[in-house]
Amino acid sequence: MSEKAVKKPNANKLAIQMIAALAAGIIVGLIFMAVRENIDAATWATINNILFQDITAAGAESAIGIFYIGGQLFVRALQVVIVPMVFTSIAMAVGTVSDARTLGRISTKTLLWFLMTTVGGLALAAIVGIIVFDMGMFSVNLEGLSASTGSTGSNPLIVLLDVIPSNITAVFSSNTAVLAVVFLAVATGLCMNKLGFEKTATMRRLLQELNDIVTVFLNFVVTKFAPIAIFLLISRTFATYGIEYIRPAVVYMVVTVILLLIYLFIGYPLYVIIGTRLNPRIFLKKIMGVILFGFSTSSSAATLPMNYETCVKRMGVDKQVASFVLPLGMTINMDGTAIMQVGATLIIAGAAGYDVSVGSLVVIALLALVASVGTPAAPGAGAVILFTILSGVGFTNDAALMAYSLILAINRPIEMLVTSLNCVGDSVASLYVAKSEKLLKLDVYNAK
């Protein structure tokens, strides 16, 4: 996994632009909402056809839909990288683990720790999310949008059959076969490991270069067009459907931020106590710089050098352990991403009128687990991967896609916090592995 470093000033500038676009979109949307309520239906129909109309809908053959087209171009530009992003990320992650076999117990402990913390985050998000969902706080009525299409009524075990595809070309031509893509990526990585580095050097380089291209494309789309797209998506949403639709999105933001903060400042200190028997207050004090830098850059890759220096020089983690655990964690350990994806999926389900059973929630959590492993350390990647989860559980009606667009529009502050969580999770893992292998310098850790 590689990524172009994101400079802190540019990241801050982009965050400010997105917040400004969000505010401008709300204002413009509210203005058009007021206009809609105070003019005749025919005049509003003309304005709607020019600016907001879904041009793919029946009867919209003559509509222009400027705001709709602009927003959808952005969404589709993100969706186009889903399959190559998942495949190359996971295939390289599997290859990275195999390349570190000489570390023996360290690799096993690292992977098990990553799995434990991610499952813990998923459990927290699922429990809190389903409580909020059952309270109806994610529910909303969207006039004119279907709330009954999808595949949630089918046997959830069908997802097991879909893991192994019968046609490889069909998998790579659809964004809905995420588990099949994951299976092929893992199989590819394992086969490359069996053949050895020399025989698969070309394939490894190809995967790396493809992933670099995807990351550069994703960064370009997000940094250059996200503010404009946010303005268009939010304006159209307010103008077309009204403020009621924003309520569950606000609930999503509040609930997700609270969950992330709980896991960051309560969950990880508990892991430090359980896994290392060390003082968690020292850990929080020394890791605060990594938290702030990860938040400002929204890039785990850009934060990696600082994270490495903090773990080695300020916490006393052995260089060998940090050199293995932190880069691997940047690739496959995505606790914050998994939490965000579960919360986002539940709000989209509620906003689109779907029911979520225990079976569906388990499938959502499993998809979030495997999808988070394939999430590159690039700004905006988590929201892109979210679409694969929605497709996997059948949340694909018109209302769900509109809710997904809203998540894309408002998710920047959450992704910034998600990055901090992901980076701290890697630090905790390196601390645990070093302590368990007696490769932690306790005097350095306890020093002020």
**Res. 406 pLDDT band, cuts 50 70 90:** confident
Report yes or no on 181 lying in a domain: no
Report the pLDDT value the prediction gives residue 4, as an integer from 0 to 100.
40
- For residue 381, is pLDDT > 80? no
Report the pLDDT value the prediction gives residue 377, as an integer from 0 to 100.
54
Helices 280-297 + 8-38 axis angle, to 10: 60
Helices 82-99 + 178-195 axis angle, to 10: 30
42-57 residue pLDDT tens = 888 898 888 888 888 7
pLDDT over 90 percentage in the chain: 15
Among 369, 365, 380, 349, smallest CA distance to 18 is for 380
Report yes or no on 72 lying in a domain: yes
Report the pLDDT value the prediction gives residue 396, as an integer from 0 to 100.
74
Report yes or no on 263 lying in a domain: yes
The boundaries of the domain holding residue 385 are 8-80+104-157+224-446
Q: Lowest-pLDDT range, 77-91, 122-136, 370-384?
A: 370-384
Tally Cβ neighbours within 10 Å of residue 157. 9
Question: Counting Cβ atoms within 10 Å, is residue 64 exposed (0-12), middle (13-18) or buried (19+)?
Answer: middle
Among 235, 218, 232, 233, smallest CA distance to 77 is for 218
Q: What are phi and psi of 53, to 5 degrees?
A: -65, 135
d(CA 330, CA 2): 10
Report yes or no on 25 lying in a domain: yes
Report the pLDDT value the prediction gives residue 315, as an integer from 0 to 100.
95
- What is the torsional sign of CA 104, 108, 111, 114? negative
CA atoms within a 13 Å half-sphere pointing along the CA-CB vector of 277: 3
d(CA 292, CA 277): 25
Residues 180-189: what's their mean pLDDT?
82
Report yes or no on 276 lying in a domain: yes
Q: Lowest-pLDDT range, 41-45, 92-96, 164-168, 368-372?
A: 92-96
Joined together, the tokens standing for residue 148 give 């009954």
d(CA 77, CA 228): 14
Report the pLDDT value the prediction gives residue 247, as an integer from 0 to 100.
65
- For residue 146, is pLDDT > 80? no
97-106 residue pLDDT tens = 555 554 467 7
Report the pLDDT value the prediction gives residue 145, as an integer from 0 to 100.
42
256-310 residue pLDDT tens = 899 999 999 999 999 999 999 999 999 999 998 888 877 866 777 768 878 888 9
Q: How many domains are there within the chain?
A: 1
CATH number at residue 348: 1.10.3860.10
One-letter identity of residue 351: A
Which residues make Cβ contacts (< 8 Å) with residue 403, sequence separation at least 6?
A: 248, 249, 347, 348, 351, 352
Report the pLDDT value the prediction gives residue 246, as an integer from 0 to 100.
62
Instruction: Kindly list the distances between the CA atom of residue 137 and the CA atoms of 141, 150, 255, in Å, as whole numbers in the listed order.
Output: 12, 22, 11
Which residues make Cβ contacts (< 8 Å) with residue 28, sequence separation at least 6?
A: 231, 235, 238, 239
Q: What is the mean pLDDT of the chain?
A: 79
- For residue 325, is pLDDT > 60? yes
Report yes or no on 174 lying in a domain: no
Report the pLDDT value the prediction gives residue 84, as an integer from 0 to 100.
84
Beta bridge partners of 440: 317
**Res. 35 pLDDT band, cuts 50 70 90:** confident
Report yes or no on 198 lying in a domain: no
